[in-house]
A and B are shown apart, each in its own frame.
Chain A
Amino acid sequence: MTSSHSNILYRWPTDDLLCWLLRGLAAIAGLVVVFIVVFLIAETLPVLSHVGLERFFTDPSWHPAEGFYNLTPMLWGTLFTMAGSVLIATPLGILSAIFCHYYAPPILTRPYRRLIELLAGIPSVVYGFWGLVVLVPLIGEIHPPGPSLLSGILILTIMILPTIALMADASLANVPQHYLRGAAALGLPRWATIRGVVFPTAKSGLFTGVILETGRAIGETMAILMVCGNVVQTPSSFFDPIRTLTANIALEMSYALGDHRAALFVSGLVLMTMIAALTMAAEWISRGRIYG
């Protein structure tokens, strides 16, 4: 005779309780992002209702105190720094992962990987500070003024390089060993193996890495704020100072009121939209649809 308590059909009340508790906690965690979007939209509604969305792109200038809300120069600033740094960091990051897997002697592999991980962990304010005291004066000597689009691109490159390097490292590690052995048996030299076998196999992981680093480049605030000069203008050369969307929020939020404050939330919303588009692209790629 078994007691009901050891019957497998008997449900423990504590289990139900625990399950509901966990569901509650998970619901909080899941709702954070919804809250963020709701609050961003709620804060922008007043300005969107009586200024309208298109004036953020057609106004003559960004002078929020006088009611001009043109975000385009900042949008260009964000796009230029992002494009520049992604273009430089992607090949460097992928080559650095290739070094780790196929070129480095075993004694160098671990220290080098550790170094990339350390770089990934250094906070953005440290990169910004270093850029401000070392990089900006250097660029200032070549072509004044120092704080510029170029310094922003360089600092961002150093910052996002570990991201793409670690992602590329992980996706190269997933290339099946027998592919490499097959290539070696065919007598293919190292670079030919990498170009013909490794790249096609690891392609989707590498794309995901690029998208992740692009997201970091768009969202980066402090380092950019410290090295870019923060002049609201569409840059005409690499040595022009610029201001990005993120830097604009950080600079003006402390004293912004009313419509000005709401306008800053609009730029936050623009940033969120860009990130959401990237996340969707990442998901699309990881499902493999990019190959048809």
Chain B
Amino acid sequence: MAEASSPTHQAREWLASILVWGTAALVTATFCWLLGDIVWHGLSHLSWTFLTTSPESAGRRGGIGPILVSTLLILGVCLTVSLPIGVGTAILLAEFTSDHSLFGRMTRRSLDVLAGVPSIVFGLFGNAFFCKTLGLGFSILSGGLTLACMVLPILIRSTEEGFRAVPANYRLSAAALGLSRTTTLVHLLLPAAVPGLLVGLILGIGRAIAETAALIFTSGYVDRMPESLLDSGRALSIHIFDLSMNVSGGDANAYASTLVLVILLLAINGTAAWLAERGLHRRIVTV
């Protein structure tokens, strides 16, 4: 006791308190600076016309209408492909294989590795496989398919969490009633696991919208309104990148586009967090 309250220990406690509070203040300040800067500069440019008109003179003037359409199309392709594969895999891992089976272990291991693959490597792969080998070229389809590979791990992980959160006696009761596993799955487990599935879906959408590097050389740069899925389309994040790096005088529109992207993502992640707290009663770390 005497040692714990000695001056050096007291000083150490004080120092630690200052450090911890200082860190928290620093993080909060940085966050406010970043968000404040974007809102401050972006809000004056944001309007309904900005959201609906086409970009002019490489994006210096005009809006982001076609870019939003391309982004939605890329997202649509991504989800159409990744959702069935992701949910199917999650069901298999959570309900139909034991944790020790070889197939389950291999799938899980490969998904863990996939989650760590840098997005630029997804871009290289998408360019080589979808654009070149399958001959889809720079198109919304290639971009969406590349993103589908990318969101699989996060989609599968949270859907699986959703299935694991369903109480075991649901399965036992269903088995006792002589229900087939298909019926149990469709009528009991799937509805009960919907929160987890939704969280995964929303996090996947968030990851897909935020992505830039994987799209540069799969979906391309063209800022016209896309006419089909085989047209090249520019995603919102690529638009921001292009405006700030390659177009001088594009900063004002870049700020407004950034604000749109940040608002979209905050809404998406907020919904996911809210659903996760409501439905799952456990936290899914998004990283």
Interface residues, chain A, CB within 8 Å of chain B?
6, 8, 12, 14-15, 18-19, 21-36, 39-40, 42-43, 92, 95-96, 98-99, 102-104, 112, 114-130, 132-134, 158, 161-163, 165-167, 170, 187-192, 194, 212, 215-216, 218-222, 225-226, 246, 249-250, 253-254, 264-265, 268, 271-272, 275-276, 278-279
Select one of A26, A123, A162 contacting B92, CB under 8 A.
A26
Known: A129-B258, A191-B16. A275 touches B152 (CB 8 A): no
A92-B27, A126-B261, A279-B112 known; A167+B285 contact, CB < 8 A:
yes
Known contacts A29-B111, A278-B116; is-contact A122 B262 (Cβ 8 Å): yes
Contact A30–B106 (Cβ < 8 Å): yes
Q: B20, B93, B111, B262: which contacts A99 (Cβ < 8 A)?
A: B20
Residue of B nearest to A230 (CB): B245
A117–B241 CB distance below 8 A: no
- Within the complex, the shortest CB–CB distance from B130 to chain A, in Å, comes to 10
* Per-residue interface assignment for chain B, residues 75 to 106, with 1 indicating a CB less than 8 Å from any chain A CB and 0 otherwise: 00000000011101101110010000001001
Contact-residue size bin, chain B (C-beta under 8 Å from the other chain)? 35 or more
Interface centre among A12, A127, A128, A191 (most CB of B within 10 A): A191
Q: How many pairs, one residue from A and one from B, have CB atoms within 8 Å of each other in the complex?
A: 265
B113 at the interface (CB under 8 A from A): yes
Which A-B residue pairs are the 7 nearest by beta carbons?
A219-B118, A25-B88, A123-B210, A191-B16, A12-B180, A221-B213, A22-B92
Which residues of chain A are within 8 angstroms of B19 by Cβ–Cβ distance?
A: 95
Give the contacting residue for A188; candidates B4, B133, B245; CB below 8 A: B4
B278 on the A face (CB < 8 A): no
Minimum CB–CB distance from B270 to chain A (whole Å) comes to: 8
From A122, A167, A253, B216 is in contact (CB under 8 Å) with A253
Least Cβ–Cβ distance between A220 and chain B, in angstroms:
8
- Whether A170 pairs with B240 at a CB distance below 8 angstroms is no
Flag if A129 contacts B254 (CB, 8 Å): yes
CB <8 Å contact, B244 and A226: yes
Is A212 touching B37 in the complex (CB atoms < 8 A)?
Answer: no
Q: In the assembled complex, which residues on chain B have CB atoms less than 8 Å from the CB atom of A115?
A: 27-28, 31
Residue of A nearest to B269 (CB): A121
The 15 sampled A-B contact pairs (Cβ below 8 Å) are A14-B180, A15-B182, A26-B93, A33-B113, A40-B125, A99-B21, A112-B28, A118-B266, A123-B212, A126-B38, A126-B240, A167-B287, A215-B116, A253-B127, A268-B120
B187 contacts chain A at the CB level, 8 A cutoff? no
Q: Are B287 and A125 in contact (CB under 8 A)?
A: no
Contact of B24 among A39, A112, A218 (CB under 8 A): A112
Which parts of B3-58 form the interface with A (CB within 8 Å)? 4, 9, 12-13, 16-17, 19-21, 23-24, 26-28, 30-31, 33-34, 37-38
Expressed in whole angstroms, the Cα–Cα distance for A99 and B27 within the complex equals 11
Answer whether A190 and B16 are a contact pair too, CB < 8 Å, given A99-B23, A268-B124: yes
A-side contacts of B211, CB under 8 Å: 123
Q: Name B266's closest neighbour in chain A (CB-CB).
A: A118
How far, in angstroms, from A111 to B111 measured CA to CA in the complex?
32
Residue numbers in B under 8 Å from A29 (CB-CB): 85-86, 88-89, 107, 110-111, 152, 156
How far does the alpha carbon of A116 sit from the alpha carbon of B210 in the complex, in Å?
17
Across-interface contacts of A35 in B (CB, < 8 A) = 125, 129
Residues of B within 8 A of A124 (CB): 210, 212-213
Is B245 in contact with A33, judged by CB distance below 8 angstroms?
no
Known contacts A121-B286, A170-B285, A222-B241, then 9 further A-B pairs from the complex at CB < 8 Å, ordered by chain A residue: A23-B103, A43-B124, A112-B28, A128-B244, A129-B244, A221-B212, A225-B245, A249-B120, A253-B127
**CA A103 to CA B25, docked complex, whole Å:** 13
Nearest-Cβ distance from residue A163 to partner chain B, whole angstroms: 5
